[in-house]
Structure 1
Amino acid sequence: MAKYRHALPQADGGLFLSDGGMETALIFLQGVDLPHFASFVLLGDEAGRSALVTYYEHFLPIAKSRGLGFVLDTATWRASPDWGRLVGFDAERLKAVNVAAVDLVAGLRDRWETPATPIVLNGAIGPRGDGYKAGRMEADEAEDYHAFQVDAFAGTQADMVSAITMNTVNEAVGIARAAKAAAMPCVVSFTVETDGRLVNGTTLRAAVEATEEATGGSPAYYMINCAHPSHFDRALARGEAWVQRIHGVRANASAKSHAELDESETLDVGDMADLGRRYRALTRAFPSMRVLGGCCGTDHRHVAAICEACIPAAA
């Protein structure tokens, strides 16, 4: 049974951490091969599952040592039908791997959770296409497509689902509607370009407000991911209602553009201390931002730096 599905603890306030750039950390730091950037393939054997556990267990001690909650993502950002077919997964096998991903993080929760450090299991859902290029689905098509993963998660211990690296409103709306139909709490996380806008030119404000209107405000909250803080901090405005719906940030380590990152053959880990300072500025300016983690190029060292900057260790 899902533990927090009917009352997400991060909605009550307080700082929660999450992990970093799973795929980039696995590839560049752990030397794992991920065809089509698909980390879900690792769930198929013991060596792969062990690699995932190693990855996760770099982060969980940081939260536990600080008495903080943790939003623990499944390795399923690309475990949807189109990406599954590219790596030889039919529908039955793909559903099983989504369930297995939840089972893995549920086992980690059993080992790491304490009353002071709740761990929320989050079913991660990525875009149907490339996260850096605008999709062309209508909302109804997106709802139908992504219902596959949402429904798989609904039958597990997953507490929520997140639409991660969304670059169109229609796809975000479709996932939110599928989640509502399955009675699953849903978070929508948009990604932006260096100008603070979605790849199709939509402002972050317009994206949040349009998603709210089209879904009747059904998402639990919104996040920003897969962009450096310098790309979106100027798009935010204090005191505006839409910004108060943004409760989390998972930024990239690098200040490079998506196009530059696509062409890079090396990992740009950026300036960890500077990233921490930027998170501190964001959380002070926007207190609603309380779920903090990383995205491409980040690892546990970045999350530790973010944690240190936002909540310094007691002397």
Structure 2
Amino acid sequence: MTDVDTAQAVLGRRTTRPRWVTDGGLETDLIYHHGVDLPGFAAYPLLDSLEGRTLLSRYYTGFAHVASKAGAGLLLETPTWRASAGWVEALGGSRRDVRRINLESVIFLAGLAEILVSDGVSPGGAAGYDGSGHGPDVRVCGVLGPRGDGYVAGEPTSADEFGDYHWAQIAAFAQSGAARVTAYTLTTVAEAVGVVQAARAQGVAVAVSFTVETNGRLPDGTPLGEAIELLRLQAAPDDLLVNCAHPTHIAAALTPDDGWTEHVTGLRVNASRRSHAELDDAAELDEGDIGDLVSEHEKLAARLPRLDIVGGCCGTDVRHVAALWGVEA
């Protein structure tokens, strides 16, 4: 049985299917498969050149084909994981650049969405740019990353401070008409709360995504289930995901009676079984075993009754995401 057959068999047994395809490990794909230098792991500088925009368009189009073959919707998520104020300044920009970078990223993807729809790659319209009349099949979403490293929790910070930090980037997305903002690879509950509160204050839909270590705990040591419950008590997001971890790492957080699993609506998993520390030290890309990834992902998905969003993270590309959806890349 092929990877695609395995995914199709499990998807066929589920009472509901996920509805939304996301992309994969954008930065690792660009670095290791296309030889692009990304200081600070930042992909947004590619928006400044025709060559960079062409490369990004080809990247996202591959996932549009996956969505089309799977009969699913497509989340076009901006290449702005490192486009918050602190990271922009660290890469030689200024705080004034934050609004421009994030607005331009949404405009770029909105234009690509229209091309994909007109070419028949993805049916329907883009939320915020929707002219289809039958509901959005393509949504342009603004991406936030953590204030810090993403693999390390850093010094304790209040939710209010995190909200203030992310405010400018969220404001740009709110002004742009993006369907929502999604904060990926969060390492603490406080940062997740701050993001949700800042988004709510600006009237934009919001999703947050925690990352976990191999033991199913956030990098600050909080068990995933506890983090989800604490977040929901303080500031419940519209969607809740887990990303940048292998399915087995997320599964390590599961127990037979976990109620929090019904709140997880999305997975963007790593291809590799390695820990964050091991991935940081690796000199080469670990693309994992696609068959193993599909098998473990489906075991995990069976425990998540509201799983609605499926994509990839570090080490994954269009091949991995296609296999997770049971289609050919």
Please indicate, yes or no, whether the TM-score normalized by the shorter chain is above 0.5.
yes
Indicate conservation of the 8 Å contact 2:18/2:307, yes or no: no
Residues 121 and 13 of structure 1: is their aligned pair in 2 closer, same or farther, counting only changes over 3 Å?
Answer: farther
For 1:6, the equivalent position in structure 2 comes to none
Moved segments of 4+, more than 6 Å: none
The one of 37, 42, 51 aligned to 1:38:
42
Instruction: Find out whether 1:205 has 2:252 as its counterpart.
Output: no
For 1:242, the equivalent position in structure 2 comes to 260
The CA distance in 2 between the partners of 1:177 and 1:232, in whole Å, is 26
Instruction: Find out whether 1:292 has 2:296 as its counterpart.
Output: no
Could you tell me how far 1:265 is from its partner in structure 2?
1.2
Residues 233 and 265 of structure 1: is their aligned pair in 2 closer, same or farther, counting only changes over 3 Å?
Answer: same
Could you tell me how far 1:238 is from its partner in structure 2?
6.0
Indicate conservation of the 8 Å contact 1:103/1:157, yes or no: no
Could you tell me how far 1:157 is from its partner in structure 2?
2.6
Instruction: Find out whether 1:26 has 2:35 as its counterpart.
Output: no
Could you tell me how far 1:46 is from its partner in structure 2?
1.1
Q: 2:265 aligns to what SS in structure 1?
A: strand
Please give the TM-score of this superposition, normalised by the length of structure 1. 0.90
Instruction: Find out whether 1:124 has 2:143 as its counterpart.
Output: yes
What amino acid is aligned across from residue 30 of structure 1 in structure 2? H
The one-character-per-residue Cα deviations of 1:222-275 (angstroms, maximum 9, x if unpaired) are 100000011111313466442111001001010000000000110000001111
For 1:8, the equivalent position in structure 2 comes to none
The CA distance in 1 between the partners of 2:31 and 2:192, in whole Å, is 28
The CA distance in 2 between the partners of 1:124 and 1:39, in whole Å, is 12
Indicate conservation of the 8 Å contact 2:18/2:310, yes or no: no
The one of 89, 94, 103 aligned to 1:90:
94
Map 1:84-233 to 2 at 5 A: 84-112=88-116, 113-115=122-124, 118-135=137-154, 136-215=156-235, 217=236, 219-233=237-251
Could you tell me how far 1:214 is from its partner in structure 2?
1.4
Could you tell me how far 1:109 is from its partner in structure 2?
1.4
The CA distance in 1 between the partners of 2:324 and 2:17, in whole Å, is 18
Map 1:1-20 to 2 at 5 A: 14-20=18-24
The one of 263, 276, 290 aligned to 2:281:
263
Instruction: Find out whether 1:73 has 2:77 as its counterpart.
Output: yes
The CA distance in 1 between the partners of 2:106 and 2:257, in whole Å, is 37
The CA distance in 1 between the partners of 2:182 and 2:312, in whole Å, is 15
Indicate conservation of the 8 Å contact 2:214/2:252, yes or no: no
The one-character-per-residue Cα deviations of 1:59-108 (angstroms, maximum 9, x if unpaired) are 11111122211111100001001100111111222211111111111112
Q: 1:304 aligns to what SS in structure 2?
A: helix
Residues 250 and 14 of structure 1: is their aligned pair in 2 closer, same or farther, counting only changes over 3 Å?
Answer: closer
The one-character-per-residue Cα deviations of 1:144-201 (angstroms, maximum 9, x if unpaired) are 0001110000011310001100000111110010000011111110000010001111
Could you tell me how far 1:13 is from its partner in structure 2?
7.0
For 2:131, the equivalent position in structure 1 comes to none
The CA distance in 1 between the partners of 2:70 and 2:184, in whole Å, is 26
What amino acid is aligned across from residue 30 of structure 2 in structure 1? L
What amino acid is aligned across from residue 120 of structure 1 in structure 2? R
For 1:58, the equivalent position in structure 2 comes to 62
For 1:305, the equivalent position in structure 2 comes to 323
User: Which fold has the larger relative contact order, with Cα–Cα distance below 8 Å and residues 6 or more apart in sequence?
Assistant: 2
Question: Is there any run of 5+ residues in structure 2 with no aligned partner, and where?
Answer: 1-15, 117-121, 125-133
Q: 1:155 aligns to what SS in structure 2?
A: helix
The CA distance in 1 between the partners of 2:51 and 2:264, in whole Å, is 37
Please give the TM-score of this superposition, normalised by the length of structure 2. 0.86
**How well do the aligned residues superpose, as a CA RMSD in angstroms?**
1.7
The CA distance in 2 between the partners of 1:184 and 1:242, in whole Å, is 24
The CA distance in 2 between the partners of 1:22 and 1:244, in whole Å, is 28
